[in-house]
Amino acid sequence: MVLRINGERLRADFDELAQIGATVAGGITRVAFSDEDIEACVWLGNRIEEAGLLADDDDVGNMYGTLPCADANAKTLLLGSHLDSIPNGGRFDGSVGVLAALECLRTLKEHHIALPFHVSVVNFRDEEGSWQSLFGSRGMAGQLRPLSLLDTSTDMTAFHASLARTGLHPEMILYAARDPQTLIGYFELHIEQGPYLERAQTQIGVVTHIIGRTTLDITFQGQAGHSGTTTREARRDALQGAAYFITKAHEYVRENFEHGVFNCGNIVVKPGAYNIIPEKAILTVECRHINEQVLQEMEKTLMLIAQGCANEYMLSVGHRRIQHMPAAPMHAPAQAIIAAACERLQLTQMPMVSYAGHDAQVVSSITSSGLIFIPSMGGVSRNPAEYSKWEDVTNGANVLLHSVLLLAEHVRAGEA
Ligand SMILES: [Zn+2]
């Protein structure tokens, strides 16, 4: 008989956790390092201890519960996701991955399954970027420097204060970096947050790539002047140049990149009065692509287009990269293991791209990583109405369990 997780126990956990930060709309608000997030972590810590796992945390606040193997020097397989949410987010995003990982460890423990590696459930902190995007996984991957705390667009004092109340110190985040040599891999289960699996009537998505994204500020600089008396030839209107750029940028990405996205989500105009020619227009834009090299080329060309638009309106233009999350292919052996787990469980599967960022994107920079998707009803996410059928959650958890077992078989056979 094929080993399976305890679906009822997983459901009980899910319902209990969903009470922490519950909103009237049926969603949750568990913003990173808030009271609710801390309460959820305490709750998880209690479940880890109840399950007889070794509880631990690191210098960015990530939590671990480990099922050790007989060989103390063995490597560790990580399974997890995040418990934090956006304000008024859904109950499934992140939570499903952490709870399924915990349930897998309990199942392995109660069936006395000996593995050739340690397995840890991990809860990565601030995946949603309430303070800094993918904070916990970047800390573990050694990608944070004490200075990076200055990058946050949110008030630094408040960020420091929320770290402090969680017992974390900005100058210690370097020490969260984990030696890649101690890891054998990472598997994450997550809801798709898009409509593709449901449309294809497929139970499991095997993620091949996680999209990369770059966020930029682009500033067009002209000259303020009287809106009525300045002659047409003398006008150096920063907003006109910026508007021209937005249209050109959308055209360029739409026509040249099948898997590319451009978005301008904010414009600040200065001095910002109806009767003064705009001196400055600051755009906040984002580009996304599944291929890192193509993403970087896209960014370069967009800057050339911005320069062309600026010339046309006698403006100068400058840009500042706010954040860059490299595109990440998932590791082929991890994808093969997930696909084999689906076959063993007789679940339908398809390869797919993730257009949203996930902890697996960062963890893949230090260890072999795989990402498992389950359908999101109607593709709805980042919304209290976010929903995945319970059967799909259970299927996803079983795929996670069998991914662990299959990896163990490969290691024993000397293939990993
Ligand atoms: Zn998530």
Average pLDDT over all residues of the chain: 95
Mean pLDDT to the nearest integer, 153-175: 82
How far is the centre of ligand 1, averaged over its atoms, from the C-alpha of 372 (Å)?
A: 12
Question: Residue 154: is its pLDDT beyond 60?
Answer: no
Strands 212-221 and 183-191: unpaired
CA of residue 394 to ligand 1 center, whole Å: 18
Question: Ligand 1 centroid vs 368 CA: distance in angstroms?
Answer: 19
Q: How far is the CA of 362 from the centre of ligand 1 (A)?
A: 13
CA of 358 to the centre of ligand 1 (A): 6
Alpha carbon distances (Å) from 390 to 188, 338, 386: 18, 20, 13
Ligand 1: distance of its center to the CA of 379 in Å? 14
pLDDT band with cut points at 50, 70 and 90 for residue 150: low
**Position 391 confidence tier, pLDDT thresholds 50, 70, 90:** very high
**Residue 51 predicted with pLDDT over 90:** yes
Distance from the alpha carbon of residue 401 to the mean position of ligand 1, in angstroms? 20
Least confident of 92-101, 123-132, 236-245, 396-405: 123-132
Chain segment 77-109, per-residue pLDDT in tens: 999 999 999 999 999 999 999 999 999 999 999
Ligand 1 centre distance from Cα of residue 92 (Å): 8
Determine the length of the chain.
416
CA of 303 to the centre of ligand 1 (A): 31
Q: How far is the CA of 97 from the centre of ligand 1 (A)?
A: 9
Encode pLDDT of 303-314 as tens digits: 999 999 999 999
Question: What's the pLDDT tens digit per position in 353-390?
Answer: 999 999 999 999 999 999 999 999 999 888 899 999 99
132 C-alpha to center of ligand 1: Å?
A: 14
Residues 6+ apart with CB under 8 A from 288: 211, 212, 213, 214, 260, 261, 295, 355
Separation of CA 287 and ligand 1 centre (Å): 20
Helix (H, G, I), strand (E, B) or coil at 349: strand
- pLDDT recorded at residue 293: 94
How many Å lie between the centroid of ligand 1 and the Cα of residue 189? 10
- Expressed in angstroms and rounded, the spacing between residue 356 Cα and the centre of ligand 1 is 8
Distance 413 CA to ligand 1 centre (A): 34
What does the alpha-carbon distance between residue 261 and residue 222 come to, in Å, rounded to a whole number?
28
Distance 135 CA to ligand 1 centre (A): 13
128 CA distance to ligand 1 middle (Å): 7
From residue 375, how far is each of 14, 104, 277 by CA, in Å?
Answer: 17, 20, 50
Distance from Cα 126 to the centre of ligand 1, integer Å: 10
Ligand 1: distance of its center to the CA of 227 in Å?
Answer: 47
Q: Write the pLDDT tens digit of every residue in 231-285.
A: 999 999 999 999 999 999 999 999 999 889 999 999 999 999 999 999 999 999 9
215, β-bridge pairs: 286, 323
**% of the chain at pLDDT higher than 90:** 88
Distance, CA 238 to ligand 1 centroid (Å)?
38
Q: 7 CA to middle of ligand 1, Å?
A: 21
Indicate the pLDDT class of residue 24, thresholds 50, 70 and 90. very high
Distance 41 CA to ligand 1 centre (A): 16
Question: Distance (Å, rounded) from C-alpha 40 to C-alpha 44?
Answer: 6
Distance (Å, whole) CA 167 – CA 238: 46
Distance from residue 381's CA to the centre of ligand 1 (Å): 10
* 399 C-alpha to ligand 1 centroid (Å): 18
Instruction: Say how many Å lie between the CA of residue 193 and the centre of ligand 1.
Output: 9
| Residue 73 amino acid letter | N
Confidence of residue 171 (pLDDT cuts 50, 70, 90): confident
Cα 93 to ligand 1 centre (Å): 5
Cα Rg for the chain, rounded, in angstroms? 24
- Å from CA of 336 to ligand 1 middle: 23
> What's the mean pLDDT in 158-177?
89
